[in-house]
């Protein structure tokens, strides 16, 4: 993958940060399995697996921690 899609971890708020965390997770899968056809064939399998869905959520949470730290935990908007 030659195109640059991630220019910064900086986001305007936590919502945008969470969406970036999801994008990071999705792009990791795309880099790991570059075949659209294979990913499409596998999607129904893991989409019906509670363990796979929980694992996906854990990966997103890890990415969100990274994005949040990069954004200094959005201190300006913290309550």
Output the six-digit token pair for 1.
Answer: 């993958």
Please indicate, yes or no, if residue 78 is contained in any of the structural domains.
Answer: no
Number of domains forming the structure of the chain: 1
- Local confidence band at 74 (pLDDT 50, 70, 90 cut-offs): confident
**Which residue did the predictor score with more confidence, 48 or 74?**
48
Query: pTM to 2 decimals?
Result: 0.85
Quote the pLDDT of residue 77.
Answer: 57
Please choose, from the candidates 7, 27, 28, 24, the residue with its C-alpha nearest in 3D space to the C-alpha of residue 66. Answer: 24
Does residue 37 lie within any of the structural domains? yes
In a domain, 27, yes or no: yes
Has residue 59 been placed in a domain?
Answer: yes
Cβ atoms of 74 and 68 closer than 8 Å:
yes
Residue 19 lies in domain: 14-73
Compute the distance between CA of residue 42 and CA of residue 4 in angstroms, rounded to an integer.
26
Residue 33: inside a domain: yes
Q: Is 40 inside a domain boundary?
A: yes
- Is residue 39 in some structural domain? yes
């Amino acid at each position: 993958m030659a195109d640059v899609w991630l220019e910064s971890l900086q986001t305007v708020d936590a919502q945008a940060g969470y969406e970036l965390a999801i994008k990071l997770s999705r792009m990791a899968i795309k880099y790991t399995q570059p075949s659209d056809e294979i990913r499409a064939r596998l999607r129904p399998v893991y989409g019906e697996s509670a363990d796979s869905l929980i694992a996906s959520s854990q990966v997103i949470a890890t990415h969100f921690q990274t994005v949040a730290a990069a954004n200094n935990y959005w201190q300006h908007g913290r309550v």
